[in-house]
Amino acid sequence: SSGSRVDQTPNGISEEMIRCISAIYYRLSDAPFSRNDRQRFYPTVEIRGLLIRHSKMIDSLLHYYRSLISKLIGVDPRRLKHEEKLAFWINVHNSLVMHGFLVYGIPRGHLKRTSVALKAAYNVGGVTVSVETIQNSILRCRMPRPAKWLHMLLFPKKAAMFIKTGGGVHTMIKHYGIKHPEPRLRFALSSGCQSDPPV
């Protein structure tokens, strides 16, 4: 099976997640592209919308993707070197954003995109991490300010607990996070904006 051929290291799993979720998007794309588009942007494909009603076409891919997600529980990011952490978390972040759009729909505005960033999450090594957690606590990229007040608005109890306990941010940065900020991250992380780098 394809799963048995996947490199079972954290980076191998995260790379396969990107390949799989990209294949799902490609199959669900509702906009075929003209020859000129392909010539100008090959091998990039812009997904403007998804035909979820055709999801039966991708049942096997979704099942496979879920099996990859389940492998994240056994990953210990603390054992990764700096460059390995960078690659792993970039892949997990971008996969999670794309998966969030599949579940909650492609956002048409900044607030909806922020809402997805706060809601979508994976279990990595026994710790629940959201897009927002990866950006702020692990990769140490600052989230836009609207995300912070939206977090308070949508999840007031979680926000209050976060403030009271420190949210485990220090522990998360120490054990899961990268050693130092990386300016290159702005060219690798995608949140679904047109100005973001392609995945």
CB atoms within 10 A of CB 168: 13
Q: How confident is the model at residue 1 (pLDDT cuts 50, 70, 90)?
A: very low
CB atoms within 10 A of CB 85: 22
Res 94: pLDDT: 93
Per-residue pLDDT reduced to its tens digit, 117-146? 667 899 999 888 988 889 888 998 865 544
Least-confidence region, from 23-27, 49-53, 120-124: 49-53
Enter the pTM of the model.
0.72
Q: Which domain holds residue 12?
A: 7-187
More confidently predicted of 189 and 13:
13
Has residue 173 been placed in a domain? yes
Has residue 29 been placed in a domain? yes
Has residue 193 been placed in a domain? no
Has residue 155 been placed in a domain? yes
Has residue 24 been placed in a domain? yes
Has residue 196 been placed in a domain? no
Has residue 78 been placed in a domain? yes
Per-residue pLDDT reduced to its tens digit, 158-183? 544 443 444 555 566 678 988 888 87
Has residue 195 been placed in a domain? no
Q: Count structural domains, the chain.
A: 1
